[in-house]
Amino acid sequence: MIPLLSLENVTKSFGGLIAVNDVSFRVEEGGIVGIIGPNGAGKTTVFNLVTGNYAPDNGDILFRGTSLVGRKPHEIVSLGVARTFQSIRLFPSLPVLENVLAGRHCRMNAGLIASMFHSPAQRREERAAVERAVRELEFVGLTDFLEDRAGNLSYGNRRLLEIARALASDPALIILDEPAGSMNQPETAVLVRLVRAVRDRGITVMLIEHDMGLVMQVCEKLIVLEYGVKIADGPPDAVRSDPRVIEAYLGQDD
């Protein structure tokens, strides 16, 4: 079976620094996959390569057998890969509802003329998009803030809104870059439930996270990077007992 996502010998360097060095891994459909590793291990670079923000120097990235290399980020979103950003990137002055509608944009068809004349098809599509956006906000629990500006939300809620925006684009794979970053305990608990609920919708989740408790709790598979090289991958228990991983990462904590 063709894997959902596969990286094949992907290399990316910035000047003299090799951020990602000959990394290969596969992500099968369904489940929650974590990418972990010390700071500067190249985790976010891997995400940016998958989402089209960077182009790899070498190697190939396949999504359901289609190469993502050379595609623009918005094309990759319409293929079914949605993302959130490490430093939250919402549209702060726009209402919460419109932030989610932005994620719906790539599934809508109304062109310039239909939009200027509000054709019946355009109205139908718009109504359906608003309903869908509201459903996604219900899913993440932000219905009470529909008309608030995104910039006025609490930090944790902004993270949730970013996830709702990503979900609105009907992804098969959702990539979360440090979703629990700067979240407090109760917020993290909400996030854990949400990530599982996303998986239960049949959407594969890939996440970068520093909170090892959270990673071990939710992830079904882990990929470990160090200095841009993959040093281990497998189920959390196996990775936890891998001596290279303990040395590189977990060992530092204990």
Partner 1 sequence: MKRVRFPEGAKIPAVAVLIMIAALLPQVLNQYWIAVCVSVGLGALLSLSLNVILGQAGIFNMGHAAFYAVGAYVTAVLNTRLQIPVLWLLPAAGAAAGLCALLVARPIIHLRGDYLLIVTIGIVEIVRIALINDVGGLTGGANGIFGIARPEIFGVRIRRDIQFYYLIWGAVGLTVLLFSRLNRSRVGRALSCIKEDDIAAEGCGIDVARCKLLAFVLGASWAGMAGTLFAARMTIISPGSFTFWDSVLLFAAVILGGGSQAGVILGAFLVFGLPEIFRDFASARMLIFGLALMVMMVIRPQGILPPGSRRYDTGFLSRRERAAGDGRT
The footprint of partner 1 (CB under 8 A) covers: 51, 53, 72-74, 77-78, 82-83, 85, 89-95, 97-98, 101-103, 105-106, 108, 110-112, 114-118, 122, 125-127, 129-131, 134, 143, 146-147, 165-166, 169
Smaller CB separation from partner 1, 131 or 237: 131
CB of 38 to partner 1, least distance (A): 26
Smaller CB separation from partner 1, 95 or 234: 95
Smaller CB separation from partner 1, 145 or 249: 145
Give the span between the Cα atoms of 100 and 132, in whole angstroms. Answer: 9
DSSP strand pairing (173-177 vs 66-67)? unpaired
CB of 160 to partner 1, least distance (A): 15
CB of 132 to partner 1, least distance (A): 12
Q: Cβ neighbours of residue 5 under 8 Å, at least 6 residues apart?
A: 26, 27, 50, 61, 62, 63, 81, 173, 204, 206
What is the chain's percent helix, strand, coil content, to nearest 5?
Answer: 45, 25, 30
CB of 131 to partner 1, least distance (A): 7
Smaller CB separation from partner 1, 18 or 134: 134
* Helix 96-104, helix 155-167: angle, nearest 10: 30
**In this structure, are residues 173 and 61 in contact, taking their beta carbons and an 8 Å threshold?**
no
State the DSSP code for 138. H
CB of 118 to partner 1, least distance (A): 5
Smaller CB separation from partner 1, 140 or 215: 140
Give the span between the Cα atoms of 69 and 23, in whole angstroms. Answer: 15
Smaller CB separation from partner 1, 73 or 213: 73
**In this structure, are residues 6 and 62 in contact, taking their beta carbons and an 8 Å threshold?**
yes
Smaller CB separation from partner 1, 11 or 53: 53
Q: Is 114 exposed, middle or buried (0-12, 13-18, 19+ CB in 10 A)?
A: middle
CB of 233 to partner 1, least distance (A): 26
Give the span between the Cα atoms of 35 and 219, in whole angstroms. Answer: 9
Residue 108: C-alpha distances to residues 4, 101, 104, 105, 129 (Å): 24, 10, 7, 5, 8
**In this structure, are residues 5 and 30 in contact, taking their beta carbons and an 8 Å threshold?**
no
CB of 23 to partner 1, least distance (A): 22
